[in-house]
Structure 1
Amino acid sequence: MTNQENNQQFSSRWGVILASLGMAIGAGNLWRFPRLAGQYGGTFIILWFMFLFIWSIPILLSEFSIGKKFKRGVISSFAQAAGKKYTWMGFFITICTLGITFYYSVVTAWGLSYVGLSTNLVLDNSLLEQLNQPFLENYWKNISTGNLRTVSLHIFCVLFAVFMLYKGVQQGLEKVNKILIPSLLFLILLVSAVALSTENGPKGLVYMFSIDVDLFFNSKVWIEAVTQSAWSTGAGWGLMLTIASYSREKEDVTFNILISGIGNNLASIIAGVAILPSVFAIASSDAQAIEFLKSGNTALTFTIIPLLFAKIPNGELLGVVFFVAFAMAAFSSLISMIELCIRTFTDLKFNRNKASLITAILCIAMGFPSAYSIDFFSNQDWVWGLGLLISGLFIVFAVHRNGIQQFKDDFIDKDSSIKVPTVFYKFTMFINIPIGLFLIWWWMSQGYSANPWFDENGNWNVMDVYSNATIVTQWTVVILFGIIFNKWLYHKFVDHE
């Protein structure tokens, strides 16, 4: 094997595991999970862990094994796994994840902005006197819309990620994650330790794991649990497939997925331990803390966390640590997404340098609208975040195309030291179809837009940020393009290899 070929695969099992953890552990662990754990406590955590094994791990096992077998990017590997006629499904998975990639660099940029704010609070104590919720809400509005500094940070994040990756997987992705993931986990543990050391901090821990039996009969808790698991672990993104395409010949499929899936959930738990005790530490009473957490404040990270830490002794320093961890978590997921884009172009026979350059230009240009407008950002998050459920169903479809038993024997179990029970894997491959379809229906039936399909004038409401019309329109464009150019895509990504 040449040095160049050697550089295009991970050097060890730990390289694969750290890349998988880097892909999975992202901003959602430090932002969305603590909010949901705060709303629903231990009931949510139990269901969330259950769906890790029912939805996320089976789909990730399937993804990883496809990438490991065919050693190509998403479109090429999926086409070979599902069949030529279904190349368009692999195209949809790729576009869906790229849709997220284009705005995820903006999340990283926001994290860096708050690192700057937290650092200023440390350096200038007089700013602490101005620190209140209206100040933080104005700061958030300022950086999320029409802010050229946010645009500049978005460009910086893309260029830095591409620079880290252009040398190849072994010298790029693997080296970055060896530093990034241990550092990230250390920082989150540090914040958790300080939060628990406060006077009322341990009460937050007790609250986080308390179980309300009545919540098991609340359908919304179940929905939140499965969607958090699906989106946090990266099931259906095609990222695990991309990582696996660089794995060694005898890589252990099941062991790697179990470690990355469970590791992602543990990282979320640690983040919850950092946030919930902090809420109890600064609240005037336990009742006030519980009332705040049950409100499910979606602005928890950006408009509340700085306020929380500022009220803890030396909490300004802790705020810097938290937002550094947040930015690192977002970046660790971003580099895996950008690697998927680079891999797509190398599959088209571009050399890695040229593929990296094209990726940088594409991500900067396509991410600009999200960096400049929070409405555009929210729309893309709305459309492609839900689209991941479609992507997950397509992975399940590829398994069924091969026969579940045959797929498990040939793709998953071949080099696995641990074998998931066949009856369980078969069960998940069947039950996840109605789960996925129900989730999509449920999400669209919630009425997040006043006019989900047509506006007041009877026009198709495609321009509404949160309408069903905008979801269906964008999905349909991608799917139709994929179907119309299915043969061309297969020829470009598979035939000429």
Structure 2
Amino acid sequence: MSTQAVDKSGTKHGRDSFGTRRVFILAAIGSAVGLGNIWRFPYVAYENGGGAFIIPYLVALLTAGIPFLFLDYAVGHRYRGSAPLSFRRIARGAEPIGWWMTGICAVIAIYYAAIIAWAIRYTFFSIEERWGDDPNAFFFGEFLQAADTPGASLDLVPGVFWPLLLLWIVVVGIMVLGVQKGIGRMAIIFMPLLLLVFAALVVRALFLDGAGVGLDALFSPNWAALTETSVWVAAFGQIFFSLSVGFGIMITYASYVRRRTDMTGSGAVVGFSNSGFELLAGIGVFAALGFMATAAAVPVDEVATSGLGLAFVAFPTIVSEAPGGGLLGVLFFASLVVAGLTSLVSVLEVVVSAVREKIGLSRVSAALWVGLPAAVLSIGLFSTTTGVYVLDTMDHFVNSFGILAAAVASMVALTFVFRKLPVLMAHMNKFGTIRLGRWWQFLVGGLAPAALAFILFRDFMSELEAPYEGYPSTFINIFGWGMVVALIVVAIGLSFLPWSRHTPIEEPGYDDETNSDKEAES
């Protein structure tokens, strides 16, 4: 059937949708499972009590992570729109929150792609162990050709430029194909592939000499750590960042799901699947770090690290020393590529959906309007000799003062300003197998925003003590604080622009299955 009919909740070209609940769940898991699961969780757990960290982690998952995931699902599924449109349908004054989330996703997309491009190159580097005897010097020197100091540069790094260009061609192609044919099919293929590849990596790591030493370091409980506030703060922070909640992704994905869908049951599956993958990542990474520590005859804490240091310095070192290390490296970096790609697509979809509905574009036009400028910015900023400094700064500030702040603002606004929690709870309970009650309203309207606000305040005070990584203040003011402020200003400005006449801004009807939904699927 034609998809040109006017959708009650979308554009004149018909609103996209996931074909089945299973596809939606796989896509949502693909968004949640990203680079942070692999290189952030193991180190956070190790630094905050080891095995004892599982207790605050589970508490945070059950009291903040999954409840907030339900909130995102409720907003998107009820109001049937992108983040800006869903908030606009809640209230006129709520729209800037949606654009704030959209801007955050745009920023994340342009730098996240660079890390995936690095992982693509390192997948092939692993075969011949191209980094030699000094992975640190190779990564920052020969590969990234990083400048001595942060700043602006037009010096192109071909080794980053070409894989980044290739990645953006693939990503824009997926976005053009749409929700079911592009994002949905990618999730069906890549999520089982990711599980198989990463499971193979973990099995290989467990057979390395010294693997048990690493696992002992990770899981030996330090029960005294449970009395430290910082450990609980770390647990809430890890759950929040790993679930992809609070910045529009799950709102957008939920808007593509049929009305008669169990959203609370789906949320529980996504939440526990994400945590299960994090646990698997912890086992694989620390088994490998245990081998590295044993080979170097040093304690695990001297080789344990996270982020870029783990992925592109520590792990290549392990590959060089391990028997059959080339295979280990290929599995690890291929996992980063697959996990990163599914997350990148979800982040970009937030922007595509918002632009499409605001202007009234077709799927293809919106994907090109968003994807091509994003590709140009991404390649222009991160394939230069100063790209790693820009990436590091943007990532730090958009996470700490973008995602956290927007999430707190959305919870406070929905709870106390627009008082929508009872309405959203009733919507989720209509077909949900997990019944929400006052406990859920307390968690998303009280505990979760209070915990995140504390993290936000702590990070802000820390930034006032010293410039991030000792970078020049001008550099930080442009790519750090300047970006944070610009996101808010642009969000407010975009909320004043008129919506396309093809995008109704009133609440959509609540019939169980609209004709336009069926047309979009065909």
Q: TM-score, normalised by structure 2?
A: 0.84
Aligned residue for 1:284, secondary structure, equals: helix
Alpha-carbon distance in structure 1 between the residues aligned to 2:97 and 2:139: 42
Residue deviations 1:372-405 (CA, integer Å, cap 9, x gap): 3112112211221121111211331343145365
- Does the CA contact (< 8 Å) of 1:76 and 1:490 recur in 2? no
Alignment pair present for 1:370 and 2:370: no
Residue deviations 1:428-484 (CA, integer Å, cap 9, x gap): 4212222222111100212487357xx9xxxxx86233x6x9654433333234335
2:434 to 418, 432, 440: 418
- Does the CA contact (< 8 Å) of 2:34 and 2:339 recur in 1? yes
Alpha-carbon distance in structure 2 between the residues aligned to 1:288 and 1:421: 51
In structure 1, runs of 5+ residues without a counterpart are: 122-126, 456-460
1:354 to 346, 365, 373: 365
2:517 equivalent in structure 1: none
CA shift in 2, pair 1:15/1:485, >3 Å: closer
1:399 equivalent in structure 2: 414
CA shift in 2, pair 1:198/1:343, >3 Å: same
2:75 equivalent in structure 1: 66
CA shift in 2, pair 1:198/1:451, >3 Å: closer
1:138 to 138, 141, 157: 141
1:384 equivalent in structure 2: 398
Residue deviations 1:328-350 (CA, integer Å, cap 9, x gap): 11111011112222212220211
Alpha-carbon distance in structure 1 between the residues aligned to 2:412 and 2:123: 43
- Does the CA contact (< 8 Å) of 1:57 and 1:257 recur in 2? yes
The CA deviation at 1:11 is 1.2
1:21 equivalent in structure 2: 29
CA shift in 2, pair 1:151/1:44, >3 Å: farther
In structure 2, runs of 5+ residues without a counterpart are: 5-12, 148-154, 509-522
2:193 to 169, 179, 183: 183
1:30 to 29, 35, 38: 38
1:9 equivalent in structure 2: 17
Alpha-carbon distance in structure 2 between the residues aligned to 1:150 and 1:232: 26
- Does the CA contact (< 8 Å) of 2:236 and 2:452 recur in 1? no
2:176 equivalent in structure 1: 166
Alpha-carbon distance in structure 1 between the residues aligned to 2:299 and 2:479: 37
Alpha-carbon distance in structure 1 between the residues aligned to 2:137 and 2:395: 26
Alpha-carbon distance in structure 2 between the residues aligned to 1:356 and 1:89: 22
CA-atom RMSD in angstroms: 2.9
Alpha-carbon distance in structure 2 between the residues aligned to 1:131 and 1:450: 30
The CA deviation at 1:53 is 2.1
1:101 equivalent in structure 2: 109
Alignment pair present for 1:290 and 2:306: no
Q: How does 1:37-56 map to 2 (within 5 A)?
A: 37-40=45-48, 41-56=50-65
Aligned residue for 1:417, secondary structure, equals: coil
- Does the CA contact (< 8 Å) of 1:405 and 1:422 recur in 2? no
Alpha-carbon distance in structure 2 between the residues aligned to 1:255 and 1:222: 26
Deviates more, 1:32-41 or 1:101-110: 32-41
Alpha-carbon distance in structure 2 between the residues aligned to 1:352 and 1:101: 18
2:159 equivalent in structure 1: 149
2:88 equivalent in structure 1: 79
Alpha-carbon distance in structure 2 between the residues aligned to 1:297 and 1:471: 19
Deviates more, 1:359-368 or 1:200-209: 200-209
Identity, % of aligned positions: 22
- Does the CA contact (< 8 Å) of 1:66 and 1:411 recur in 2? no
Letter of the structure 1 residue corresponding to residue 425 of structure 2: D
CA shift in 2, pair 1:395/1:363, >3 Å: same
Q: How does 1:189-338 map to 2 (within 5 A)?
A: 189-284=199-294, 288-293=298-303, 299-338=309-348
Letter of the structure 2 residue corresponding to residue 142 of structure 1: Q
Deviates more, 1:389-398 or 1:174-183: 389-398
Alpha-carbon distance in structure 2 between the residues aligned to 1:194 and 1:268: 17
Letter of the structure 1 residue corresponding to residue 301 of structure 2: E
Residue deviations 1:59-94 (CA, integer Å, cap 9, x gap): 21111111111221110011212x102211111111
- Does the CA contact (< 8 Å) of 2:237 and 2:452 recur in 1? no
Alpha-carbon distance in structure 1 between the residues aligned to 2:69 and 2:89: 18
Alpha-carbon distance in structure 2 between the residues aligned to 1:66 and 1:156: 35
2:488 to 475, 479, 484: 479
Question: How many pairs does the alignment contain?
Answer: 483
Alpha-carbon distance in structure 2 between the residues aligned to 1:315 and 1:294: 19
- Does the CA contact (< 8 Å) of 1:57 and 1:261 recur in 2? yes
The CA deviation at 1:267 is 0.8
Alpha-carbon distance in structure 1 between the residues aligned to 2:425 and 2:139: 54
Alpha-carbon distance in structure 2 between the residues aligned to 1:49 and 1:28: 17
1:341 to 340, 348, 351: 351
- Does the CA contact (< 8 Å) of 2:425 and 2:436 recur in 1? no
Alpha-carbon distance in structure 1 between the residues aligned to 2:290 and 2:104: 39
1:443 equivalent in structure 2: 459
Deviates more, 1:14-23 or 1:284-293: 284-293
1:124 equivalent in structure 2: none
Deviates more, 1:36-45 or 1:487-496: 487-496
Alpha-carbon distance in structure 2 between the residues aligned to 1:43 and 1:133: 32
The CA deviation at 1:289 is 3.6
The CA deviation at 1:277 is 0.9
The CA deviation at 1:27 is 0.8
Aligned residue for 1:163, secondary structure, equals: helix
1:458 equivalent in structure 2: none
Deviates more, 1:148-157 or 1:175-184: 148-157
- Does the CA contact (< 8 Å) of 2:73 and 2:263 recur in 1? yes
